[in-house]
Each structure stands twice: as C-alpha cells, then as structure tokens.
Amino acid sequence: MSLFNKKQDTDYAYAVARVRSNELSLLTEADTEQLIEAASYDEAMQKLADSGWGEVSKDTDYAVYLEDHFASHWAFLEEILDDVHELDLLLIQNDMQNLKAALKNLLLPDPADGVYSKATVYDTDAIVEAVKVKEWGDLPEFMQAPAQEAYDVLTTTSNGQLADAIIDRATLERILYLGKKSGSSVLANIAERKVATANIKTALRCANTGKTRDFIDSSLAECETLNKVTLTDAALNGADTVLNYLEMTDYKEGAEQFRESTSKFEKWCDDLLMECVSEAKYTPFGVEPIVAYYVASDAEVKTARIILSAKKNNLSKDLIRERVRTLYV
C-alpha cells in the first residue's frame, strides 16, 4: 500500500506545468562549458549570478551560496505540491546529516554554527532541540532509536565513526522503506540505487581502512540488488575483492569506473540517478517529472560545486570536464 492517498496522474498537471517552466532555468551542457571556460573562480561565480542564482561579492562563500540555491529549488517544490512528503526519500538524508551534526555538537565545548542543511523534510530547529535536551521521543519515530544508540556510542566509547555508521544505515533503511511504499516505480528505483551505491562506497571505505565484520555489518543496509553478506565478506578481504564482486552484479560499470579513478566512480554514482529519471522529460503527467526536476536540481548544484572548487584549486579544464555530472536539460 502507498504511503499516500492514491492520485491520478492528471492530479499533478499544475505542478508538472510549473516544473516544465522552471526547467528552462536549469544549467545546460552549454552553461556548464561556459563555467569551465571561465578564466577564474570569480568569473565563474559571476556567470552563476548572471544566470539568476543570486548576487555575489568578493566575500560570498560558494558553499553557502550553492546551499541557498538548492534550498530555493526545494521551496519551489513545497509550493507546487499538495503533499511534498511524496518526495521525502530524496531529501531525508539531509535531515539525518543534521541529526549527526546535532549529536556531535552536543558533545563539543563550542558547538559549531552553520553546519545544518537548509533543505530538509523536518524542522531542523526541532531536531536540534530534541537532541540538545535528549528527548529522543520528540524526534520523528524512525530517528529515535538510531539517535539514542549513536548518542550512547559517542558518550561511552567516543567512536564517532560507529555513531555515524549507525545513523547512515538508518538513513538507508528509511530511504528503501519510502521507496517501496511510494507507489512510484521511479522513486523505488531511485531508492534502490541510492542505497546500493551507498553500500558500495561504505564497503570500499571499510576495505581500505581494515574495519571489522561487526562495524561493516552495522554500516551496510539490506537491498535487493546487492547481497549484504557477500559484500561484507568481500570488504573483509580488500577493495579488489569488493570490485570483483561488483563485476558480477548490476554495478559492473561502477567497478570499472572505480578502477580508473574515484572521481569517475563518484560521477557514475550520481549519473545512475539521472538514468532513473531520463525518460521523465517525455512524461506529461504524474509525479515522475517532479522527481526528475529534483534530481536535475541536485545534479546542477553538484556540477557547480565541482567547477567552483576546481577553479579555486587551479585544476585543469580537462580534469573538470571529467568530473562534472550528467545534466537533465
């Protein structure tokens, strides 16, 4: 059964019409090339400003600038959808990252400001306050157990990596749950790919850092396209064993990309999601074009971040082109 009241595809007609209009302002391949060709970081920032991303100055922090731009996309979706919670699985990771930040801030003598994502499903202030007073029951139900477990780990062992792993796994489990209950094959496919690629990244990281079976087991989530036990066993035997296993799955190309470079692998992970929505541009109704708009918005912000970071670090244009994400428009 779907989490939401069953809708007809035509119920999304207004939202899809608004999305189609807004898609015209998303970065195109030509826009991306202009950013890459910019003579400097400042020139690239100005090109974004000229494209309607917001004013910039010498003091503009590009990370905050991009966060604000992405938040504006989410605010737009909140405006046009009767029930924006249909898209929770796309954004819930931000809420869980905020939960991790709130837990760590709780234990710092001088809590850090500006560490919370702005585009979220739930009220960030409410989550931070619940953690601050340790009222786990005030958190959304699916957050309560992992939040308390992570807090106990932090306060008894100071093992920040394990605490992160606990929340990361809960995040993936929630994404899968929302995907299966959404009633949308596109959302279900996105959920599966999000979880699978996260599991792959975790397995490779654990393999390279020599993590124990218990740690790996605490970190990986069950999914349909990867066998958790096999992936765990592979991680215990090294990164090459993980890649060899992937070559026997739907993610063979990911293994090939990782062997070439980690940046190519990261690009492949993001491009997998774009593949899920590539046909939505031809769909006149339904939730799929709206999901596609979100994925496209995420991709353009990631692309802008890659380019701006590269410009700051004087990376070559060819290297930047290798890293930029596939765009929807």
How confident is the chain (329 residues) per 10-residue block, as mean pLDDT?
A: 48 90 92 95 96 92 94 93 90 95 88 80 94 96 97 94 96 97 92 97 97 95 97 98 98 96 92 86 85 92 95 92 78
The reply to whether 98 falls in a domain is yes
Number of domains present in the structure of the chain: 1
> Is residue 4 in a domain?
no
Q: Is residue 329 part of a domain?
A: no
Q: Would 2 be classed as within a structural domain?
A: no
Measured CA to CA, the distance from residue 294 to residue 280 in angstroms comes to 12
Task: Answer yes or no: is 151 within a domain.
Answer: yes
Whether 328 maps to a domain, the answer reads: no
Residue 198, in any domain of the structure: yes
pLDDT in tens, 285-305: 888 999 999 999 999 999 999
CA-to-CA distance for 229 and 235, rounded, in angstroms? 10
**pLDDT score, position 10:** 67
pTM comes to 0.88
Q: Which of 19, 23, 53, 21 is nearest to 35 (CA)?
A: 53
Residue 131 covered by a domain: yes
Give the domain range for residue 251: 9-323
Model confidence over 70-124: pLDDT tens digits? 999 999 999 999 888 899 999 999 999 999 999 999 888 777 776 788 889 999 9
